[in-house]
Amino acid sequence: MDPLNREALRLLAQTQGDPCVSLYMPTYHVEVELPQNTIRLKNLLREAHRELKAAGYRDDEADQVLLPAHTLLERTDSWSALSDGLALFLTPSAMHLYRVPLAVEELVVTGHRFHLKPLFPLLASNNQFYVLTLSKHKVGLYQGSHHALHEVHGRAIPEGVVEEFFGEKPERQHTGNRVGGGPITLYHGAGGQGEKQRVRLREGMKRALREIDRGLRTVLREETAPLLLAGIEAYLPLYREVNTYGHLIEDVIVAGSPDHMSQRDLHEKSWEVVEPLFKKAQAASLDQFQKLSSRAGMASSDVKEIIPAAVFSQVDTLFVPIGHHLWGRYDPSNNAVVIHEEHQAGDEDLFDFAAVQTYLNGGTVHALQPENMPNGSGLAATFRYAAHVEAVEE
C-alpha cells in the first residue's frame, strides 16, 4: 500500500478523468474479523458498479475500471497490517490503495475527480503531525493525527542507524545503512581517550544524524506539520543542531529509548504536546475570520462565493465541516456553481472541491467538527484579498 502524505494527496487531487472512483471503508484488523473486510469491499464494488452504470458506462467498461479492486478480494495478504480504514482510488489505468488511521464511513463516489475530503482530518493543518524516534537500533518516522500514529515507510529513512555512540575509546566500527542505501560508519565507544577523541566521535555522530535529517526532508518535502522527537537523551540535542526541517517542536515527548513503547503510548504522549498547539492555531484562525467578516470581500460563508475564490487562489484559510457533504458541480467555463439536495450522477462534493483547490493553491485548510464551524455555516473562508469573483447560479 502507498504511503499517505501531502505528495500523494497532491497527485490524487490533480488527477482528472472519466471516471475517477473513490471508495472508503472502515476495516477490521483482528484476525477473526478479517473476512468482514472482504464482504464490505464486495458491497462497495457493487455500489460503484451501479453508479458507473447510472453515469452511462457499459458493464464491460465498469468491470474494467473495478477489476484491480476485485483482485484484492482474493489476496489475503492485503488484509494484514491494516489500520482503522481503507481508501481506494481507481481510474481506467491505475489503482491507489491507502491505509487510513481513521474509522472512515463507507462511501462510494464516482466523478471526474477523486473524492478526498474524508482524508482531510488526517492531513489538515490543525491535525497532522510527525514523530521521529531515535534509538540504538532503530530510526522511525510516524505520521499522526488525533486518532492514531502509523509508521511511514520509505527508502529515504534508514531502518537503523544509531548505536551507543558516546564514550572515550572506539572499540570497534559498525557499518549501518546510510539514508538512500550506502554504508555509514558509526562507533561503539568505551575506554579512556581524551577530549579530542570525544569531539571526533561527537562530530561523527552529527554526520550520521545529518544523513537522517537529509532523508527526513526527502520524505516530508513540502510538509509544514509539526515534528516531535523521541529518543535517547544524548542524541536529541545533537539532532537539533543538524535539523533543517522548519517545524521541529522544542518539546521532547520521550527522553529515553522508545523501542519498548507501544504506538498507542507514543501517540498519547505526542498528542499531549501537539493538541494545545493545534487548538491555539485554530482559535487564532477563527478569530481572524470574525475580524475579517466586518471587512467587505475579505471573509465569507457563501459556498457560491468561496468555491470560485478557491479556484482563483484567493482563499487564504478554509474551514470545512468533518463528515458533511454538499453535492453539486462547478463549471469553470462560466464560473457556475450548481448545488443539489441529493447526490446526482456526475456530482462531486463541493466541500471536498473547495478544500482541494485551497490546498493546491497554497491555502490553509482547517477540518472542524460541524458545531465548531464559524457562524454555524457549512463552509467558511478568509481571503487573501477582497473577493470580486461572482459565481453564476445555473
User: Can you tell me which residue has the cell 501537539?
Assistant: 274
pLDDT tens string 112-167: 889 888 887 776 777 889 999 988 778 889 888 888 888 876 666 665 554 444 33
Q: Is the pLDDT of residue 244 over 90?
A: yes
Residue 173's beta-bridge partner residues? 187
Question: In terms of pLDDT, which residue wins out, 376 or 88?
Answer: 88
Q: Is the pLDDT of residue 220 over 70?
A: yes
Per-residue cell: 387 = 473577493
pLDDT tens string 12-39: 988 888 899 999 998 876 554 567 788 8
d(CA 19, CA 115): 12
pLDDT tens string 268-294: 999 999 999 999 988 999 999 999 998
Q: Global pTM?
A: 0.73
pLDDT tens string 341-383: 888 877 889 998 999 889 888 888 888 889 999 988 789 999 9
pLDDT of residue 164: 40
d(CA 23, CA 114): 9
pLDDT of residue 388: 54
pLDDT of residue 165: 44
